[in-house]
Structures are given as structure tokens and as C-alpha cells.
Amino acid sequence: MTVARTDYNESPSTAHNPLSGGPNLARLPMVPVVFDRIAAQLALDLRQLDEAVNVSIADISYEAAEKVLARSEPKFLAGVFNVGEWNERVVVLLDEPFILTMLERMFGGTGARMAPDAERPLSNLEIRVANSLFQTLAGIMQTGFSVLRPSSFQFEGTERRLERIEIGRRSNPCLCAKIKIAAGSIAVFATIVVPLGALSVLRYDLAQSPKDPRAKTDQGWSHQFGEELVKTEVSLRAVISDTSLTLGEISRLKVNQTLYLETTIDAGVVLESNGKPLYECQLGQSNGVYTARINQFIGSKPNEMLRPIAD
């Protein structure tokens, strides 16, 4: 599949709009990158409750908001987030089993999926747990979308009535990411709904390639990191020979006893660091001290490995 690329040297009025002509997520390659970041951070946070939690992206779709909201009925809780930089609101839909499962996990339960009582609304404690989850998701989404541009997610509150969820025209398409949270045999879902207006703001950021060569790196930081790295001190060890002894032989060693190494005075030595051999050397003497003259490299040359960083 060919991914269309946008010429970022063109002005927004003349550049190709990656959202025109209908939904085509292949033309927005940064979409999965953003939601993968969100899923990874959510997994880290939830594993503080349960190390067995696994978080993954179940589906990413582009469809009318009314269809997404209709699928959430009858038992759901929506968290509404205001993103000032986009002048739009993002909605996160949690099925009630998600909230009940997280609550039971917090109190040390198995998290067995429970069917919500159709006659009973969520209790105050369950609402508080959901609000805490939404607050956590606000920071996670802010981190996920920061790969595109700074975006502040402010949690405004929860809503259970579809007609009161503000997400623009219901017939407008929106970007939906369904996130699966699994622990053992239990699986629950959360759905992030991003409206069309937000996609219009982010369309050129979402259309760039994750490995776009035009993406700028912090050259100052890279130079400083390289400068500090090449100044790092490491220990070198010249190994003349190795020999093997049994534990019984070692236990019988005495002071002034001579050990015979399986090598000669003319044999080479190996210069190593942190247990990794670097150079083959020739043992010698100069001004009353032993020397090791480098004959050849073993494996990759250290200066070749460091040159890209030092440069």
C-alpha cells in the first residue's frame, strides 16, 4: 500500500490535504504511532495495580461519531477532555465492566468480569474510581500526542447521556482507537474518540512519516551527549593467559607456590574492557614497566563505533 506524503514546504492553502477525499488512515502514518505510545504508557500505569496487565490496540477506525456512540449503549461512562490547542473536545468511552474490573483489582480481587446491574447506577465510589482513571488518561493522552505537537488535555467531567456529549456534528467522521486491557482471561475496553476538527488541526503532523528525514533533531543535545560519552573513563585489562584448576587444587594452593601458565613469553595478550575483548597485543617492556603494543582489532573498531556519536 502506498502512503501519500505531504510536501511540508508548501503552504497549508496549497499543500495536499491528507484528509480530503474520504477517510484513508494509510495517509496518516503517525496515527498508530500516537496510539501505540498511549497504550504503552497506560500499560506502565496499570501494571502498578497488576503486573499481569497487557494493553494493546484492538482497532483504529475512521467513522461517524453517531455510530461510535451508539455502540457504547446501554452501559457506559464517557470522559470529556478539552484540548485548548485544538479548540476541540476528545471523548473517552469506558464500558461499565471496565470500571468494575479496575475497582475490584484495586481492592485485591481477581477482576472477574461482572455484568453491571441494569437497574443500579454507578455508585459514588465507582464514579470516583472512573474519575481517577480519566485523570490518568488525560496525562497519558497528552504524552501520546506530544510526539506531534504540545497539546494540553483537561479533564472536564463524565457523562452518561449520549445527547449531552459534545463532539461536534454526530454525522461527522471521527478517529476511534479501541484499546484492549487484558489480565489473564479478563479483557475490557476503552475507546478514544478524536473529532474531525482535531484531525483537521493535526492533519499535516499525522501525515508525516515516523522516519521522515526532514524531522529535526536537537543537534545541541546530540553534540553534548557525544562530548560527555567520549570523556567517559573505562577500565582496560591485559590478559596474558587463562588456566583452569579444580576446586580441590585451588584449596591446596600455598604461598610461594608457582603456577605454570599455558603460554610463552612471546605469546600475545588480549586487551579487554568489561569482559569484552578489544585488541590483540604484543607484551613488551619499556623503562622498567610492562607494555602492550596493539597488533590488531578484535571485532568492531571502538573508534568506528564512537565516531558517529563524537561527530
Give the start-to-end residue ranges of the domains of the chain.
Answer: 25-216, 221-310
Same fold, 25-216 and 221-310: no
What fold does the segment set 221-310 form as a domain?
Surface presentation of antigens (SPOA) (2.30.330)
Rounded to whole angstroms, the Cα distance separating 175 from 89 reads 13
CATH homologous superfamily of 25-216 equals: CheC-like (3.40.1550.10)
Cell numbers 472477574: residue: 112
What the block records as the C-alpha cell of 179 is 484499546
Walk along the chain (311 residues) and give the pLDDT tens digit of each residue: 223 333 333 333 333 444 444 446 778 889 999 999 999 998 888 887 777 778 899 989 888 877 877 776 567 788 899 999 998 889 998 877 777 777 776 666 655 555 555 556 777 777 887 888 889 999 999 999 988 989 999 999 888 777 777 776 777 788 899 998 887 677 778 889 998 888 888 888 888 887 654 455 556 656 666 666 677 777 888 888 777 788 888 888 889 888 877 777 677 888 888 778 888 888 888 888 888 888 888 865 555 544 444 44
Q: How many CA atoms lie within 13 A of 212 on its CB side?
A: 20
The C-alpha angle 34, 35, 38, rounded to 5 degrees, equals: 95
The answer to whether 175 and 31 are in contact (CB under 8 A) is yes
